[in-house]
Structure 1
Amino acid sequence: MISSKLPKLWYGGDYNPEQWEADVWAEDVRMFKLAGIDIATLNVFSWALNQPAEDVYDFAWLDETIDRLYSNGVYTCLATGTGAHPAWMAKKYPDVLRVDHEGRQRKFGGRHNSCPNSPAYRKFSEKMADKLGERYKDHPGVLIWHVSNEYGGYCYCERCEQAFRTWLRNRYGTLDRINKAWNTRFWGHTFYDWDEIVVPNALSEERGGRTSFQGISLDYRRFQSDSLLECYKLEHRMLKKHTPHLPVTTNLMGTYPELDYFKWAKEMDIVSWDNYPSLDTPFSYTAMVHDLMRGLKSGQPFMLMEQTPSQQNWQAYNTLKRPGVMRLWSYQAVAHGADTVMFFQLRRSIGACEKYHGAVIEHAGHEHTRVFRECAALGSELQQLGDAVPDSRIQAKAAIVFDWENRWAVEMSSGPTVALDYVKEVHKYYDALFQNHIQVDMVGTDEDLSAYDLVIAPVLYMVKPGWAKKIEEFTSGGGTFVTTFFSGIVNENDLVVTGGYPGELRNLLGIWAEEIDALFPDQRNSIVMKHPPGGLKHIDGMKDVYDCGLLCDLIHLEGAEAVAEYGQDFYKGMPAVTVNKFGRGEAWYAATSPEPSFLQAWLARLCENKGITPLVRNAPGDLEASLRTKDGKELLFLLNHGSEEVQAGLLKEGYTDLLTGVRHGDTVTVPAKGVMILIN
């Protein structure tokens, strides 16, 4: 539970009273009470207001706001406000201004506009956190700290260049090791002095989304992620100095590409994130990202820090959330581990670029709107649920590996196809389990695998030190391991492991790959199943032929067995799917990217063979299922994303719906856009 002071699913969101006159504040409080709002995030972008000059601090408005909310039953998630530096700082200390990828220094404006290696930015942001921590350390209304906001964006200034060299010294120690790690004899890049190393941007190594030296660009991404993390840690330390009892977080952004969130999560007391799917975003993708946020801290519940109650303002087509969808998507977050339901924003702004971003209180300014009625109804339900859900956990037996450094390396690869999208390939495997109603954990490469029976690592292009051994131990102990094409190619420096792909995974998988064929978007091949598959009865019943494309590895068997083969081209008859007995377990390899129906059928059989059972029976893909447990009780979430009611079979009888009090037998009917929370 995040705080014993608010022992329920928190309900609220970002609140910006400083953008309004005082006569609006009392109306806000009245409507918060109507909606069941009990937590407000304050001070997210108020640095300029709180510090109008270098040596001047004024928190009077913040004092009044926190007090007013607390006296009316609304707690505070207090942000440090350091996501955008004040104009006076940019004028007096231009080192805070970032330099973009093209080498141009920015002027004041926008947000996330601070150089993470600026001495001025670090000094003033740390001091601000210190001031806030000291001022509000004893306030009973402050429950959690929110550092900055949605960290992101890289800088390519001279200070970052110098700091990059220092970072490299710490990582590699000598220039000889750097030259080896980056393979700098290619194109005459050998470095003889630290000052010869420059940032990889459009003026040096990177053009048109590609890089000439993957090793240099990969390390710069690591460095920039670490630099921003150091800024967060400075504020975190100041806040913890004053309030060791309060959790500290910052809001992440799902599969945001620029930061290594597994590394960040180690410095966060609780993970929080901002969920903004489009109308056409697959709901299995949103579920996957919720699971990823939960997986950042080994299954610990997380915070849904932001979502919109109605519509966004920054997408190409900002559709409204249809009736019932806000509630459905809110419970989807809870089903996958969220202990909060929070919005951006509580009252809609009247100016600048977010004035058309939805809010609990719309521009109409009263409670007689569809959006407010839906928000108030959800607030009432969350009050009704009380403490039944918070701090419950998910216990999955199947895991999918997601790794940001591997993703960077895949995306910067100089081949074999521009169509390879790491996140999409991971989602294909997640969606196949989702459609089978199999609970999944998203894990990093540091995770202990002993709790799982099935581990899937799609496109495991980069194999980090010790990772191959870890997978071998998991598999030899009886686990089932699955990986795919374009795996085991490079080490942590993006240098190819010679001797035949898949490099360090070759012994585990019992194969070697000679070539990789990249297909054009309109080209397809086929996967032809071999029947019977050598006694592997758990894949019996699959179709004879499936479609495949994108990439096709041309592989040879070294102990593995071919379960399927290619049906076309000059490599017709070569293995397309293989399995290798390894100790007491199995290692599977999909040498190409199959159609969804293959993945659904194949993974269903692998799960069945490992005793991993679906959460429901005979349910369509539109019905999402997730299971949280607490104090020996099961909380089965059923969410119908479809436009028609659906039926689902339960694995046991005796469930009661926490939202309606209705007791069910072994079958339930879930209405369109409906939600059930069944407790046994």
Structure 2
Amino acid sequence: MQRKYVNEKFPHLLHGGDYNPEQWMDVKDVIWEADMRLMQEANCNEMTVGIFSWAVLEPKEGEYDFSFLDEIIEKIYKNGGRVILATPSGGKPRWMANKYPEVLRVRNDGRREHFDDRHNHCFTSPVYREKITQMNKRLSLRYGKHPAVAAWHISNEYGGTCYCPLCQNAFREFLRKKYDNDIEKLNKAYWATFWSHRFNNFEEIEAPADLTDSRLHGLNLDWRRFTTAQTIDFMKTEIAAVRSGSDIPVTHNFVAWQYDLNHWKIAEHLDFVSWDSYPDWHVKEQTQVASETAFLHDLYRSMKQRPYLLMESAPGCANWKSVNMLKRPDMDTLQSLQTIAHGGDSVQYFQWRKSRGSLEKFHGAVVDHAGTNQTRIFKAISETGRRLKIIDEVAGTLVDSKVALMYDWENMWALNDCLGFKSGKKYNETCRAYYKTFWENAVSVDFVNAHSDLSAYDLVVAPMLYMADKDTVERLSDYVNNGGTLYATYMLGMVDGTDLCHLGGFPADRLKDVFGIWNEETDSLPDDYFGEVSYNGKKYAAKDFCELIHSSGAAVLATYAKDFYSGMPALTCNEYGKGKAYYQAFRDCGDFQKEALQNIVSQLHIEGAIPAPRGGFLYGVTAHKRTDGETEYLFAENYSEREVKGISLGVRYTDMETGVTSDTAELPPYGIRIFKRKV
């Protein structure tokens, strides 16, 4: 198992963050010099620069000034640090918007935006592509071989849609290509005879919006696919420009709430993935926040099956939430090291130094407005950096998972568009609930999408896989036939890739044979109404959705115990080829799927990072592993406010900080310990 470093020339864990020295150029002799000293005191070895610097780098069209970057990159390098250099496309300069209004997005009501905010450029605009290409090539030729530059940070948090004429025409061309320039093929795929919504030619098609056609679900899907494809095409333009003078790896920082972009697709074009994490610690129940954050760490790690970067996180607190609660003592360090536990190779912050004015002046930062090393947050960041130095050898190691959870953007789009059963399908919440079962039992999880290779996993869990095209059906069927164990839930295989219902009964095609069941109808329950299921001599609550399924060969493991479908199957298991397929026909309140999945994990001999104590893990305690095949690194984590003693590690490990060898551990409140052993 070979290590995979973010940059082979700097094989270390990174500790740093977004640095905006251009905001302080008028006092750079004081501020920049203080920053270099404070970076060392905070144990930082990296800074990300240039993200929103376009107006400084090109103050007037065609007039470039790289002097601040020249100076600051050299300073950071001489200070022992490295730089992640951003392309500035996330924030265009005002002169460009004034001279070339086509670079401004058009909203879905047809109004073109004025110069405002950020991330509001048109991805299709030839002018914008030309301008960012010119900028990126200059950056590449000037800094692409500088020893300080460890990676390219392509733009920032891609997202959003544009409805301008350029994008509308590009969308039509996208559809022409997809449907072989055959409008009848598109009409059939969209079931466009519905409500007389047929198209006579591609020129009649408009992007779905508030004032246009948004009732054709296939059209809605294709618009989001186009938005993803157009974003990728723009990103590839950016990457090609930085590649012109550099072979440094490229990344992009995702944010999980960007709904309209398929992050799986974008990640294919990156050398490694980065993401920005802003959990609601202390505002919501702690283990829920911890497991939801872990969910996203594992999701983004899985996209490239290698270490990723935490590109942004808030020291102390953010400033843009409805409640910006301070992290309690030790939570900054625990949150940061959680990243490393899940396979990340960096801890980075937004922001290094607090802005003095404008929107983010009260956003958390390593260096506060006080400008000293004496703040609580600065000391916490310094402590995190100290511990990262001690465990630096973890860099490049990988995560080995035997369980995969299927999370698919296109399935989410289709499911949320579905008008039926019950509003609010809760796809994200459902996937996170299944993930939490494994997180609470210290079982490592990878993520896959509906078109991933599943062969490496002993168990695949596919919650609410509503959309299943022919390829997905074949992949799932072959996985089970070849010996895999598949656990799927209600709403499986109802529509195809253009959101047309599968004929012949649900789930689609071969899946009826794989699972040995067919789904006749679905009972949707009011929020205050609960069904009941009998399983292993216990009763469990059912909520929201109860499918009325029939076994056509599957063994019935649980049955409904309430309502007119009492006695009908609620959980089944079917042997198919060399494997097994389980089907959960209802949504439970969490306790049922925990019981069912723990039984399956036990049968498959899938082990957690540490042994599960009799009666289960204590509240807030979990663990994760990384390895290079020769050394195993164990992270024991405590997300509760109390000290936990006597945690069994299963075998003897050496504490990487104290050097003590033991097979047990003690964790302070909001504590994490890192151990290692030879394997």
Which residue of 618, 639, 643 corresponds with 1:641?
639
Shift of 1:3: 2.4
Within 5 Å, give how 1:335-346 maps onto structure 2: 335-346=341-352
Q: Distance in 2 between matches of 1:212 and 1:367?
A: 57
Residue aligned with 2:601, SS: helix
Within 5 Å, give how 1:1-400 maps onto structure 2: 1-20=5-24, 21-22=27-28, 23-173=30-180, 174-205=182-213, 211-244=214-247, 246-254=248-256, 256-279=258-281, 280=284, 282-297=289-304, 299-386=305-392, 388-400=393-405
Q: Distance in 2 between matches of 1:255 and 1:89?
A: 28
Percent identity between the two aligned chains: 39
Q: Distance in 2 between matches of 1:491 and 1:475?
A: 20
Q: Distance in 1 between matches of 2:640 and 2:558?
A: 34
Which residue of 573, 579, 583 corresponds with 2:567?
573
- The one-letter code sitting in structure 2 at the alignment partner of 1:455 is V
Q: Distance in 1 between matches of 2:456 and 2:303?
A: 16
Residue aligned with 1:503, SS: coil
Change (3 A) 1:168 1:489: same
CA contact (8 A) 2:11 2:396 kept: no
Shift of 1:108: 0.4
CA contact (8 A) 1:296 1:444 kept: no
Residue aligned with 2:244, SS: helix
Which residue of 574, 577, 584 corresponds with 1:583?
577
Residue range with higher mean Cα deviation, 36-45 or 624-633 = 624-633
What is the aligned partner in structure 2 of residue 659 from structure 1?
Answer: 657
Q: Distance in 2 between matches of 1:169 and 1:55?
A: 37
Residue aligned with 1:580, SS: strand
Residue aligned with 1:330, SS: helix
CA contact (8 A) 1:419 1:550 kept: no
1:610 paired to 2:604: yes
Runs (4+) of structure 1 exceeding 3 A deviation are 647-652
CA contact (8 A) 1:615 1:650 kept: no
Shift of 1:499: 1.2
Q: Distance in 1 between matches of 2:128 and 2:553?
A: 57
Residue aligned with 2:275, SS: strand
Shift of 1:100: 1.2
Q: Distance in 2 between matches of 1:102 and 1:648?
A: 61
TM-score by length of 2: 0.95
Shift of 1:652: 3.5
Q: How many residues align?
A: 659
Residue aligned with 2:624, SS: strand
Task: Supply the RMSD in Å over aligned alpha carbons.
Answer: 1.3
- The one-letter code sitting in structure 1 at the alignment partner of 2:542 is C
Q: Distance in 2 between matches of 1:127 and 1:45?
A: 16
CA contact (8 A) 1:309 1:343 kept: yes
Render the CA deviation track for 1:19-56: whole Å, top value 9, x for unaligned. Answer: 11212111111111101111000010011111122221
Residue aligned with 2:362, SS: coil
CA contact (8 A) 1:335 1:628 kept: yes
Shift of 1:649: 4.4
Q: Distance in 2 between matches of 1:526 and 1:438?
A: 29
Residue aligned with 2:415, SS: helix
1:676 paired to 2:673: yes
CA contact (8 A) 1:147 1:235 kept: yes
Shift of 1:647: 3.7
Residue aligned with 1:377, SS: helix
Render the CA deviation track for 1:479-534: whole Å, top value 9, x for unaligned. Answer: 110111111000000000011111232121111111111111111101112xxxxx
- The one-letter code sitting in structure 1 at the alignment partner of 2:316 is S
Please list every run of 5 or more consecutive structure 1 residues that lacks an aligned counterpart in the other structure: 206-210, 530-541
CA contact (8 A) 2:6 2:308 kept: no
Residue aligned with 2:240, SS: helix
CA contact (8 A) 2:441 2:622 kept: no
CA contact (8 A) 1:8 1:385 kept: no
Q: Distance in 1 between matches of 2:650 and 2:508?
A: 46
CA contact (8 A) 1:525 1:549 kept: yes
Residue aligned with 1:313, SS: coil
TM-score by length of 1: 0.95
Render the CA deviation track for 1:224-268: whole Å, top value 9, x for unaligned. Answer: 111111111101111122112x10111011353221111111100
Render the CA deviation track for 1:371-413: whole Å, top value 9, x for unaligned. Answer: 0011111111212223x10111111111101111111111111
Shift of 1:354: 0.8
Within 5 Å, give how 1:591-610 maps onto structure 2: 591-610=585-604
Residue aligned with 2:587, SS: strand
